Amino acid sequence: MSHISPVLWQFLVKWLTYFALFPPEASKIAPQMDALYFFMVLVSLIGLTVVTLLVISFSILYSKKRHPVAEQIEGSTLLEATWTIIPLGLFLVMFVWGALIYFRVFTPPANAMNIYVVGKQWMWKAEHPGGQHEINSLHVPSGRAVQLTLISQDVFHSFSIPAFRVKREAIPGRYTTVWFEATTPGTYHLFCTQYCGTAHSQMIGDIVVLTPEDYRKWLANSTSGASLAQNGERLFASLSCVACHNTRPDARGPSLANVYGAKLPLASGGTVTADDAYLREAILNPSQHVTQGYAPIMPTYQGQVSEEGIIALVEYIKNLNSDYRIQQTTNTTDLLPEGEARPASAPKVAPAAPERLKP
């Protein structure tokens, strides 16, 4: 092949190697979305063919040579109705079909495991509930529903996994969620698809889908020793949250046990469901979310705690199911000379609450 230019040769080889019209289907939703996609491609091709054939055949049949004098036609209500109703009908089919898929993608099943993802210029940080964290990669098990709770620390980012046909904006100051169930183990692209400044195109990574067994191994090997909730507990102590939210009778703040998911009465009237978003807001803008019976004395933690920190705190609060659990945190903090001094020891003396010791 010496007579072919090497550049051209390389190009042809690349073309043949990488030839693809759509990305791999590696999630449960992918084939469903592709079905709609191909339906729309088909409709478009038919539409385009009809228009092209009509234009070409009219151009041949009624060219000036063949048809020197035009016949004036005003229009036709029947034809107008036809090409109003048929496209409208097809578009409505696409709308309904698309909406079904959209709701599926953004309505996670109740049993989905949650992974937090924080986007920041220019990296993706994933926080697993077991305390494993990764940058610019995400390990997930196949065959299990995984929900991502996303937030951005600075500008808009967008978490895109083409092989899963899933994408969600990471927004500053607001949690968004998306879920998927990976089907095929392998490594897939992760892109930031929302323009986010200088290194936007380097805000990429790998989605690694592992078999459940490999995933367990990965979890065991990647643990940092403390779970996300335990990290939260440490923060809860070191940020002195526990000074007020301590379950004592004279506590200046409400007990946070069983608060997650509960309906809280607000001092301003009305109630609010304590979800991730509310807890985050209550930490950052406490004066606007005072619960009934308490004074608005909590200072703002705006700028003092990172999004990862807030996630850890929320995860800690999520797992608080008894006042006793909080007392343990209080006691642990009291025992330590400095909450921050020996952080690694904190989780060790705070094991899962043994119910039988409950006073």
Partner 1 sequence: MSDTIVSLPDQSTARIPKDNFITRENGLLSWLLTGDHKRIAILYLISLSFFFFIGGALAGLIRLELLTPQSDLMATDTYNKVFTMHGVIMVFFFLVPSVPATLGNFLIPLMIGAKDLALPKVNLLSWYLYVAGGLLTLYTMATGGVDTGWTFTTPLSTHYVNTNVLTTGLAVFIAGFSSIFTGLNFIVTIHKMRAPGMTWFRLPLFVWAHYAASILMVLATPVVAIAIVLVALERTIGIGVFDPTKGGDPLLFQHLFWFYSHPAVYIMILPGMGVISEVISTFSRKRVFGYTAVAFSSVAIAVFGFFVWAHHMFIMGVSNYAVLIFSLLTMLVAVPSAIKIFNWTFTLYKGSITFETPMLYAFGFMGLFTIGGMTGVFLGTSGTDIHLTETYFIVAHFHFVMVGGMLMAFLAGLHFWWPKITGRMYPEKISQMAAVVTFIGFNLTFFPQFILGTLGMPRRYAAYPPEFQVLNVFSTAGATILGVGYLLPVLYLVWSLKYGAIAGGNPWQATGLEWQTQSPPLTENFVKMPIMDHEAYDYEWLEHQTEERKKEVASAG
105-113, 229-237, 249-257, 323-331 -> range binding partner 1 (CB under 8 A): 105-113
Q: Which residue lies nearer to partner 1 by CB, 87 or 296?
A: 87
Site membership for partner 1, residue 279 (CB under 8 A): no
User: Starting from the edge strand earliest in sequence, which strands make up the sheet with 133-135, in order?
Assistant: 133-135, 123-127, 113-120, 145-152, 176-181
40-48, 262-270, 291-299, 306-314 -> range binding partner 1 (CB under 8 A): 40-48
Q: Which residue lies nearer to partner 1 by CB, 98 or 185?
A: 98
83-91, 245-253, 257-265, 325-333 -> range binding partner 1 (CB under 8 A): 83-91
Which residues 302-341 are close enough to bind partner 1 by CB under 8 A?
A: 302-303
| Contact (Cβ atoms closer than 8 angstroms) between residue 101 and residue 124 | no
Closest contact distance (angstroms) between CB of 292 and partner 1 is 22
Site membership for partner 1, residue 117 (CB under 8 A): no
CA distance 271 to 285: 17
Site string for partner 1, 177-216 (x = CB under 8 A): ------------x-xxxxxxxxxxxx-x------------
Site membership for partner 1, residue 111 (CB under 8 A): no
Q: Which residue lies nearer to partner 1 by CB, 174 or 216?
A: 174
Listed residue (243, 264, 240) closest to 253, CA to CA: 243
Rounded to the nearest angstrom, the gap between the alpha carbon of residue 326 and the centroid of all alpha carbons in its chain is 30
Site membership for partner 1, residue 25 (CB under 8 A): no
Which residue is it, tokens 């000074």? Answer: 243
Site membership for partner 1, residue 278 (CB under 8 A): no
162-170, 207-215, 242-250, 310-318 -> range binding partner 1 (CB under 8 A): 162-170
Beta carbons within 8 Å of 123's beta carbon, 6+ residues apart: 135, 136, 203
19-27, 108-116, 235-243, 332-340 -> range binding partner 1 (CB under 8 A): 19-27
Site membership for partner 1, residue 268 (CB under 8 A): no
| Contact (Cβ atoms closer than 8 angstroms) between residue 254 and residue 282 | no
CA distance 285 to 193: 30
Where are the alpha helices (H) located in 106-256, listed in sequence order? Answer: 212-222, 228-238
Site membership for partner 1, residue 72 (CB under 8 A): yes
Residues in binding contact with partner 1, number by CB under 8 A: 94
CA distance 28 to 164: 8
CA distance 139 to 269: 43
62-70, 309-317, 325-333, 336-344 -> range binding partner 1 (CB under 8 A): 62-70
Provide the sign of the torsion angle of the four alpha carbons 118, 25, 199, 172, taken in this order.
negative
Closest contact distance (angstroms) between CB of 36 and partner 1 is 6
Q: Which residue lies nearer to partner 1 by CB, 67 or 358?
A: 67
CA distance 191 to 168: 11
CA distance 58 to 67: 10
Tell me how crowded residue 43 is: count the other CB atoms within 10 A of its CB: 15
Site membership for partner 1, residue 256 (CB under 8 A): no
Site membership for partner 1, residue 55 (CB under 8 A): yes
